[in-house]
Structure 1
Amino acid sequence: MISEYTNDSTNGGKNLFDAYVTTAKIADLVASHQLDIGIVEGHFSNSQLIVEELSEDSMVIVASAEHSPILRKAQVGIIDLENETWIVREQGSGTREATEKLFQLFEITPAKLMQFSSTQSIKVSLEAGLGISLLSQWAIQKEFKNGDLKVIRIKGLPLSRQFSIVTKTSFQTKALKVFIDLLRMNKILTTL
């Protein structure tokens, strides 16, 4: 989809940027006109912004296919999850928000937490066998397909969350309109 947008002559030569920042930070950047659009997965409160739901995402607990003893268990219980090192995103991230929701839902108090500021760092840590994490099925498609990461099946999962488009104004440049239309058409997120 990004390739389609950048090759489209109607986008006015606009640039596209990618950054690993939190939902709250993206909302602030859109509100202050530093970004024209944000794609977020978490909740925030800002009445100045227009939010349009884009796609549903599923969150699953994952671990290294090679290193994780938890995957060898016939049935994984809450105590097993508590005894694992949880690799999480930083506060303010939608993924962290979903992880905290999971901890509350299952009354999990992890024995140990490791915190990173990007999903990529978490995936590398998981592949190294450093722990388990709650991640988007969309974010782990390649690692799942390659057999590097495995989903830990737990009753009550996956959790779902919404990806949304965030803008400041209903006025849109032609390039922004083209990009938003591509997002809507492609419903960029799929599940495993």
Structure 2
Amino acid sequence: MRNVTLRQIRVFAAVAQQKSFTRAARELHLTQPAVSQQLKLLEAEVGLPLFEHVGRTIHLTPAGEALLHYATQINEVLRAASESFAEMRGLKRGVLKLSAVSTAKYFTPSLLSAFTVEYPQVSIKFTVGNREEIVKQLANNETDLVIMGRPPRELVTIAEPFAKHPLVIIAAPDHPLANAQRKIPLKRLESENFVIREQGSGTRASMEHVFRERGVEFHASMEVSSNETIKQAVMAGMGVSFISKHTVSLELAAGKLVTLNISGLPLLRDWYVIHLRDKRLSPITVAFRSFLLARGAEIIERTVG
């Protein structure tokens, strides 16, 4: 593969990511024939097909999967070099790729906003998903840093706590237990309907751990894939829910939801900033990590309480 060019690598990576020649051409500001030509030359150099068409969808072949792994590394090294040189020139710029579990999306924009005051030229690529999706991104080196509640045990990472993460049980304001002055035993909720997150969610895992640890069962009447749907369902009286307090600050302040006075709650966990241990962090990524450790807790407290 002595004659492979960086342009071919970039075109290949764009098509692999977009799963479309047209979208990749648009992203790279090239014509579609130019994209096809670059891939044709690359496949000739590799000696194996890199893509296969199934209907109107394109998929990576095993050779394509292997090449994507190396192409990602090549692009990362070039990006890190570019940002290092920019740092040497005294420029506060670079690309920050950040991923966060969906529960963290309620305060992460505020963190990024404060960071860009200090680094106005930073370019941010921010993605949100459930825990399972974010761990997969981390494992595939598709992101620089991750914000989540529990470090993944299946990966070798560096995980640093930067803020407290309270978990509570919420209910509609007219719920019979809404105004209880005394602590309510968790076991009292065995007769309640719970609206819960989907499998793969960190909140779901935390809930199951707490109930299992205390020998309490729960009845899941509804399973949904977003915190917003949970809040709407609870406000509509469809049940109670175990949820991050950071997701319901506005609704609590407006009196649309209440937290139940449950014994042992709120459960205090931590928010972590995480990266793969062997990943070479760019200067802008190091700057954001340091920013989170120094100011993250204060900004979260101010934003979502």
Q: Name the TM tier (shorter chain).
A: 0.7 to 0.9
Shift of 1:81: 0.7
Q: 1:38 to 1:70 in 2, by over 3 A?
A: same
Structure 2 unmatched runs, 5+: 1-110
Q: Deviations over 1:41-90 (max 9, x none)?
A: 13522343222222221111111114x23325565444541111111112
| 1:54 and 2:156 aligned | no
Q: Counterpart in 2 of 1:134?
A: 242
Aligned pairs for 1:155-174 (under 5 A) are: 155-168=263-276, 169=278, 171-174=280-283
Q: Counterpart in 2 of 1:13?
A: 122
Q: Deviations over 1:121-152 (max 9, x none)?
A: 21121122211111112221111111111110
Aligned pairs for 1:66-145 (under 5 A) are: 66=174, 68-72=175-179, 76-78=184-186, 80-145=188-253
Q: 1:90 to 1:14 in 2, by over 3 A?
A: same
The runs of at least 4 consecutive aligned structure 1 residues that moved more than 4 Å come to 72-75
Higher relative contact order (CA 8 A, sep 6+): 1
| CA RMSD after TM alignment | 2.3
8 Å contact from structure 1 (residues 31, 49) kept in 2: no
Shift of 1:181: 2.4
When structure 1 is superposed on structure 2, of 120-129 and 76-85 the one drifting more is 76-85
When structure 1 is superposed on structure 2, of 146-155 and 116-125 the one drifting more is 116-125
Q: 1:38 aligns with which of 146, 155, 161?
A: 146
Structure 1 unmatched runs, 5+: none
Shift of 1:185: 2.3
When structure 1 is superposed on structure 2, of 162-171 and 131-140 the one drifting more is 162-171
Indicate the percent of aligned positions where both proteins have the same amino acid. Answer: 25
Aligned length: 189
Name whichever structure is richer in helix by fraction: 2
Cα distance in structure 2, aligned partners of 1:144 and 1:82: 24
Three-state SS of the structure 1 residue aligned to 2:159 is strand
